[in-house]
Amino acid sequence: MKEDKSSANGEEPPSGHRLQLLKEFHSAGRGYWHDVSDADWNDWRWQLKHRITTAEQLQKFLPTLTPEEFAGAKLANTKLALAITPYFFNLIDPADENCPVRLQVIPKLAETQTAPWEMSDPCGEDSHSPVSGLVHRYPDRVLFLVTDRCAAYCRYCTRSRLVSNASGYDFHPEFDRQIEYIAQHPEIRDVLLSGGDPLLLSDDKLENLLSRLRAIPHVEFLRIGSRIPTFLPQRITPELCAMLKKFHPLFVSIHSNHPRELTTEVRDAVGRLADAGIPLGNQSVLLKHVNDDPTVMKALVQKLLMCRVKPYYLYQCDLISGSAHLRASVSKGLEIMEQLRGHTTGYAVPQYVIDAPGGGGKVPINPEYVVCRNAGRVLIRNYEGKVFEYPEAPDGTPTGKPPKEIEEPQLV
Ligand code: SF4
């Protein structure tokens, strides 16, 4: 599963070769669990039951665990629980302390350090919550929190204040009240189920919830946000897909950050969702040493398209308490976007956003392509850095002059 960074002469492979290596699909394999039967390994409930949840288990399965990781794992249950499915654990490269999969799920002591500008609820969700478990931040849509449990826990989780209940938030969704609120607000046309992970619910429970939401006439559109396709692809059973397809239009947003997460198992799992007619998007978080590299990000987005998943959002990491060691800079995010736009398929380019601290909602962040606008023209820059003039009168009507490319000296 390792990304081969070396060539025959021991040097870094050229970037084109590295891109191709990153885009290869592999199985996660069985690793330590080679004796487990196929039936058990492919059973999502077996995977959940056998998750790695303690520092001692981590030490047993990962002899290269560092003291910083061991100490972080020991303290994890006071902040955000530790849990890793055996399937996902197999994607970790034990020889690499900075393995991009390892960094996402193995706690570090650095999580206990909180900078003054970090927050437990960086997106201000609790202040936009009219009913427990429902966030009504935007005019026509709501976030419906279904559970506080996930198949595994991401160390940068925006909702770590409530997810896993490690810090005693004591989250209790009240489906009756949440559904009643939606029914009483005809402006809500879009409901996003999230959590925790909604796909941890049994098929029956999820079907019951989706049926109740579908019965509300003004709810046009349902969405599920889930990391299960990448943490636990075994959960995406044919039965689950057959149930979900009864509730169209229903979209699913998956969550992956590094191309190594897109295994043959994940490709098959999201393929089953796509075959059920479910449009798929991906949300990534920009993370230091995980995906803050244009080649890694290009491999991720191209591989997602091969899985029939549209890269949807790239999030700047929220100012969540204890996440500074994983946060990449906005300038790095902009640099990556520059390397994607125009350099690869438009469908592969996600929207880079910052969730405005304190509850301002998602704000799109783009490299500057408009060089200047004035009374008769708009100067724009393309992905190669060439500048073009788009003639336009101040009232927006064309000026009649033909558009032209501008030589750099004229700009100066
Ligand atoms: S799966 Fe989502 S909700 Fe769960 S820990 Fe990861 S980011 Fe948080």
Answer yes or no: is the C-beta of 197 below 6 A from any ligand 1 atom: yes
Specify whether 96 is catalytic: no
Residue 4 CA, distance from chain mean position: 25
How far apart, in whole angstroms, are the C-alpha atoms of residue 128 and residue 216? 22
> To the nearest whole percent, how much of the chain has pLDDT over 70?
94
User: Which of the residues 150, 241, 307, 317 is marked catalytic?
Assistant: 150
The string of pLDDT tens digits covering residues 95-111 is 999 999 999 999 999 99
In this structure, the residue with its CA closest to atom 8 of ligand 1 is 157
pLDDT at res. 254: 98
* For helices 294-306 and 330-340, angle between their N-to-C axes, nearest 10 degrees: 50
Answer yes or no: is the C-beta of 318 below 6 A from any ligand 1 atom: no
Residue 266: CA count within 13 A, CB half-sphere? 32
The string of pLDDT tens digits covering residues 387-401 is 999 988 767 776 666
In this structure, the residue with its CA closest to atom 7 of ligand 1 is 157
**Mutational pocket test of ligand 1: of 193, 197, 286, the residue with most ligand atoms within 8 Å of the beta carbon:** 197
How far apart, in whole angstroms, are the C-alpha atoms of residue 83 and residue 52? 5
How far apart, in whole angstroms, are the C-alpha atoms of residue 50 and residue 341? 42
Specify whether 312 is catalytic: no
Number of the ligand 1 atom closest to the C-alpha atom of 231: 1
3-state SS assignment for residue 231: helix
Residue 2 pLDDT more than 60? Answer: no
How far apart, in whole angstroms, are the C-alpha atoms of residue 391 and residue 373? 10
- Of residues 15 and 367, the one with the higher pLDDT is 367
| Amino acid making up residue 310 | K
Answer yes or no: is the C-beta of 171 below 6 A from any ligand 1 atom: no
Specify whether 159 is catalytic: yes
- Whether omega before 342 lies within 30 degrees of 0, making that bond cis, reads no
- Residue 81 phi/psi, 5-degree rounding, is -60, 155
User: Which of the residues 123, 161, 355, 377 is marked catalytic?
Assistant: 355
The string of pLDDT tens digits covering residues 116-127 is 888 888 888 888
pTM of the predicted model as reported, rounded to 2 decimal places: 0.93
DSSP for 79-145 reads TS---B-HHHHTTS-TT-TT-HHHHHHS--GGGG---TT-BSSTT--GGG-SBTTEEEEETTEEEEE
Q: Which helix (H) or strand (E) holds 229?
A: helix 228-231
Name the H helices within 142-199. 175-183
> To the nearest whole percent, how much of the chain has pLDDT over 90?
79
Strands 310-316 and 280-286: parallel
